[in-house]
Amino acid sequence: DRDVTGVQTCALPIWLGRETPRGAIVGFIKMAQDENDRAAEYFQPPMKGHRVTAEEEQELAKQLYTVLNATFPASALTSTNADPDGRGDDGRSRDEITIGGTHLLSESFPVTLVRQEDVHNVKLWFISRQTLSRVPAAYDSLRWPHLEQKLPQVLVRNRVLSMPLWQWISIVLFLPIAMVLGWAIASAGRMLFSWYRRSRRLQELAPRPLRHFGPGAMLIAVLIHYDFVRQIGASVLYRQYYRYFLLVVMAIAGYWAITRITHWIFRGIALQ
């Protein structure tokens, strides 16, 4: 047997990566993404006297996965504590950790993980019942799950790399839209900057073709597209890989912008 991290396991029961907070949240996302019934095993066992059916737990797992895709920042996955004892900067072990927090200007759905013994007296990390109690309300507030009900089921049920087909189509179709928006915002910024220089009686900027697509437009377009991918509830694991691509594009745009700025500086010196 192998756990969700791909590590060979010989002992039973399988812990599913729940030995660490990071393993618990990543393991749940992977299980839920594959629509595996074991996703509910990442939930904190219900309190004594509270009974929940397997169907209720599976529906809750589906809703939580959808909420995380729509609101959870991909950066939170890599920054989640990977220490089995949940030690913080002070070195003290903890039995409760909350991850999520703020995503840019909006609040993400915080997830509280608790550490407790399972039926085999092994201390593991679970998604707390306190967090699970807030999932239905958060799910009902989302727009995209309701949209899926109106789409042809062939676009919803068919999946590519564990993501519905309609999301892949949306991501591809929004690319040119993001590029146009990036160009428009960058062009507007350049016009405002040119107006400012004229008002200060400074040397005007060199004219650019109307269709010019520079580093600023490219960077803005990628940021707009990334936010769109988050808004439609694309897999948080997919967004984690997208972040690496985003960093590469930002590096290219930054280098491109530096060469432009250097050119303007030397051009200004030459004209003096």
Least confident among 35-49, 125-139, 208-222: 208-222
pLDDT at residue number 39:
94
Task: State the average pLDDT over residues 227-240.
Answer: 86
Which tens digit of pLDDT belongs to each residue from 61-117?
A: 999 999 998 888 888 888 888 888 888 777 788 899 998 755 444 557 889 999 998
Is-above-0.85 flag for pTM?
no
Tell me whether the omega of the peptide bond preceding residue 46 falls within 30 degrees of 0, making it cis. no
Residue 8 has pLDDT above 60, yes or no: no
Residue 1 has pLDDT above 50, yes or no: no
